Amino acid sequence: MSRILIFDTTLRDGEQAPGASLNIREKLEIARQLAGLGVDVIEGGFPFTSQGDFDAVRAVSEEVKDVSIAALARVRRDDIDAALEALKPARAPRLHLFVATSDIHLEHQLRKSRSEVLDMTSEAIRYAKRRMSDIEFSAMDASRTDIAFLKEVVGVAVNAGATTINIPDTVGYALPGPFAEIIRELASNVPGVDRVVLSVHCHDDLGLAVANSLAAVEAGARQVECTVNGIGERAGNAALEEIVMAINTRRDHFGHTCSVVTNRLLATSRLVSSLTGIYVQRNKAVVGENAFAHEAGIHQDGILKERITYEIMKPEDVGFAKSELVLGKHSGRHAFRKRISELGYELSDEELEHTFRQFKALSDKKKEIFDADIEAIIEAETSRVPQVFELVSVQTYSGTNSIPTATVVVKTQQGEIKQDAATGDGPVDAIYRGIDRLTGIPGVLSDYMIRAVTHGKDALGEVSVEVESGSLKVRGRAASTDILEASALAYLHAVNKIAARRGGNAKSSAKP
């Protein structure tokens, strides 16, 4: 298998993403991480454009020694001189020269003729070659360049001494098939191109940067320029982690390898995200938070039986600890039972079924279900008593200048629906007065506690009450995203314990 070189331009093109400016310390931190990741080339910046870029390239060249360090320059002597000076401390320096080649750029931006571009290319490469051996040449906007002229300029660059020829899709215009044809045409019909490395640098304006890069690899490219998380100018670049894992995962198709240590991809992604302030979307391929998370019941069932049913990569291979079965409204019993077992609970089939129904009801109210939510449901289930009275609904009305009122509807064990309304000092007091009147079991509230089971504004709230009625003192507990509903359920839980004990016709294993 041949090796695909990974040219990382996070510190240069990636930093061009709006809002992603990095200082020297941050660039060094990323460069060290990239070196540990195992990329072949780190492009440190564009030294002529600013003192900051010059200093950054110099600093990276001084510190990072096991990776080739590249600096960008136009085909101008002052650009080249600045880049070469910045690269002086590098153990394996590379000069990256570029010039526009498409008629669009020649006419509207560069304002040069094709013959002038050919002369500029040859002169610049020969000038740089006298002082450095590793020269990369990029034909900017190559995907929109006339193929005959592109072959001509590539031939001039090869003859002048370039060692890498980069074909950029600068504006993300290319499609995979036609872009691959460009690479094949250059590989087959430019004399001497077999002596250089063909490279590609694709932008993501149409969402095709990775697809175009991989198509180029199939067509003969042996270097891919990319950035961590795909950050960069406009819509960004080809994402390094996606390129690498595509080559590794589909080695049967590509027949190539690369030197990247894949289990460091997640850490690298998170470092770049943290330092640039450009956060990774949850569903981002390979390194997104949901990349190895499964919620659908069918998928979870498959994963539990055999991982490869729904995962083409191992989470450990990119840096995740493990796959995650996310419990939500699409989850099935199999995943729910497994999570309960992991939490250390053993439930009977009846308890499991009832708990699963409670979980499904909660997942319709909350976007994310935490382990603490499940534990609250289980604890409520295992302390269940016969439902002498079951809450049907509760509605409250209160405000600064109004009398708190609660309308409560309950269903008896015989199926009778009973409704009443009551007022109180607050909505909870009004609810409890209403429940007292409906059940005929007046209680004295001796303790009332409320806590958030999990975090977030939609957190599950747990209410615990202590109720005295005659000689009995019992505790009730319930949880809900609606704290008033939880208050009603907790109070009814206690009332049902009292009713069951007084009635003598139902047993409860729960302790008061």
Opening angle at CA 266, ends 261 and 272, nearest 5: 105
DSSP 43-64: EEE-GGG-HHHHHHHHHHHHH-
Q: How confident is the model at residue 508 (pLDDT cuts 50, 70, 90)?
A: very low
Q: Where are the domains of the chain?
A: 2-276, 293-381, 384-503
Q: Would the pLDDT of 484 be above 70? A: yes
Q: How confident is the model at residue 324 (pLDDT cuts 50, 70, 90)?
A: low
Q: pLDDT at position 380, please?
A: 66
Tell me which of 355 and 156 has the higher pLDDT.
156
Closest CA to 78 of 58, 112, 49, 53: 49
Q: Would the pLDDT of 510 be above 70? A: no
CB–CB of 153/112 below 8 Å?
Answer: no
Q: How confident is the model at residue 297 (pLDDT cuts 50, 70, 90)?
A: low
CB–CB of 299/326 below 8 Å?
Answer: no
Q: b/e string for 264-301 if b means 16 or more Cβ within 10 A?
A: bbbebbbbbbebbebebeeebebbbeebbbbbbbebbb
Q: How far is CA 286 from CA 253, 261, 292, 318, 398, in A?
A: 19, 14, 8, 7, 50
Which residues are CB-contacts of 464 (< 8 A; sequence separation ≥ 6)? 447, 448, 449, 450, 475, 476, 477, 490
CATH architecture of residue range(s) 2-276: Alpha-Beta Barrel (3.20)
Q: pLDDT at position 375, please?
A: 72
pLDDT tens column, 110-166: 999 999 999 999 999 999 999 999 999 999 999 999 999 999 999 999 999 999 999
pLDDT tens column, 465-480: 989 988 788 888 888 8
Tell me which of 472 and 511 has the higher pLDDT.
472
Q: How many residues does the chain have?
A: 512
Q: pLDDT at position 346, please?
A: 75
Fold of 384-503: Double Stranded RNA Binding Domain (3.30.160)
Domains 2-276 and 384-503 share a fold: no
Closest CA to 229 of 157, 164, 287: 287
The C-alpha atoms of residue 99 and residue 150 are separated, in whole angstroms, by 12
